[in-house]
Amino acid sequence: MQPKIYTVTEITREVKDLLEENIPPVWVEGEISNYTLHSSGHRYFSLKDENSQIRCVFWRWQAFSLSFEPEDGMKVIALGNITVYEKAGQYQLYVEKLHPLGIGKLELEFQRLKERLYKEGLFDEQHKVPIPEFPQVIGVVTSPTGAAIRDIVKIIQRRAPDVNIILNPVRVQGKGAKEEIAQAIRDFNQYKKVDLLIVGRGGGSLEDLWAFNEEVVVRAIYDSKIPIISAVGHEIDFTISDFVADLRAPTPSAGAELAVRDRTELIKEMNSLLNKLVSLQKSTIDLFKREVESLVKSYGFKRPLDMLTQLSQRTDELYKALSKGVKNFFEFKKKSLSLVLGKLNVLSPLSVFERGFSLTRKLPELMIIKDAGLLKKDDRVEVKFLKGKIESKVEKIEKE
């Protein structure tokens, strides 16, 4: 049998098809050499190690994702597809993503862990629990000094001042951060007296947010019996904690808004429901009245007119009683809410000042003085009143 004789083009295409059909997208690590940024916007370079090299092409429309400009000698990690440039008979890598070596390894590790945990079912919706609509105690796992905790406290206190907030302070990046975050979640579950957890931090680089991609943190969130809102970074940031949590918030501020309903909006909603209920009852009773009036005018009810007039009068009485009852019910609810707000005002530090009390602090350290024995003669003190403050010097001390 005569052996088949291939043309150069045919054998090149055979090799091209074999490579492209049998090698999936791959990550390749190497050092950039012969880097060229063409006027077309395409980038051509080689990736090499101590033994080999491979030609690479980074098309202009793929390069929009670049966060740095490559250069010769830079060590990188590239994601791409193996193909063959037929004209030169040379295999090469069509690059889709390019990262400096450190960041590239983190992203690769992120994708591997995400895929593994996804296959284990940690992200399945069936494992997620609903966020309570009206939590009374909210636990927060974040840094005690970052902007995230300030934003969370400010928003919750504005929207729902009766909600208690418990902070379990942790490091959110660097050595020991992942262990502290995971342990804080377990501590809250052991404590059991919180209705909801917010776990997160403000924005940062991939390395800054990495603690929330650690498996120990992800599994602590998955094992939590308390519903968790993951609030990490900015809107464009995603961590593995976001996928396993019961709810993902794009920012810590958004997490606080998702955690509690706005008290002002609730009052408006309650008033709206009250008006709708009264209107519905009035419409229903008006309908009954019209039906009764229609029956009264009919031939069959002309004789027992007195009975119908009494029923009509009774209908009016029932309407008034019902309207009054509905109104009283919602007035009672309003008063109950006012009592709760009054209690909150009584607990406010400002109410103590309004009753004539003052606050004394030692200068310059601003230490609050509860015992005269903490002072000595000639010490300077600051006395704060409801309106204004004074500074004075201790002349005489009497101890109880």
Domain residue spans of the chain: 8-108, 125-259, 263-347, 354-393
Q: Do domains 8-108 and 125-259 have the same CATH topology?
A: no
Please, what is the angle between helix 177-191 and helix 215-223, to 10°? Answer: 10
What percent helix, strand, coil does the chain show, rounded to 5?
A: 45, 20, 30
Q: What is the structure's pLDDT at 163?
A: 93
**How far is Cα 195 from Cα 163, in angstroms, rounded to an integer?**
10
- pLDDT attached to residue 348: 65
> How far is residue 67's CA from residue 72's CA, in Å, rounded to a whole number?
16
3-class DSSP state of 355: coil
The reported pLDDT for the residue numbered 304 is 64
According to CATH, the superfamily of the domain at 125-259 is Succinyl-CoA synthetase domains (3.40.50.261)
The pLDDT value given to residue 306: 66
DSSP letters, 142-172, are E-SSSHHHHHHHHHHHHH-TT-EEEEEE---
Query: Residue holding tokens 């504005």?
Result: 158
Three-state DSSP class for 75?
strand
Give the residues of the chain that fall short of pLDDT 70. Answer: 1, 102-105, 299-306, 308, 345-353, 400
**Dist. CA 226–CA 28, nearest whole Å:** 42
Closest-CA residue to 198 (of 262, 129, 255): 255
pLDDT at 102: 64
- For position 180, what pLDDT does the model report? 95
pLDDT of residue 347: 65
Per-residue pLDDT at 345: 66
Report the amino acid identity of residue 94: Y
**How confident is the model at residue 317, as a pLDDT?**
83
Report the Cα–Cα distance between both ends of the chain, in Å, rounded: 119
- Both tokens assigned to 134: 């009206």
pLDDT at 69: 83
Residue whose pair of structure tokens reads 């902070």 in the numeric block: 167
Q: Which fold, 8-108?
A: OB fold (Dihydrolipoamide Acetyltransferase, E2P) (2.40.50)
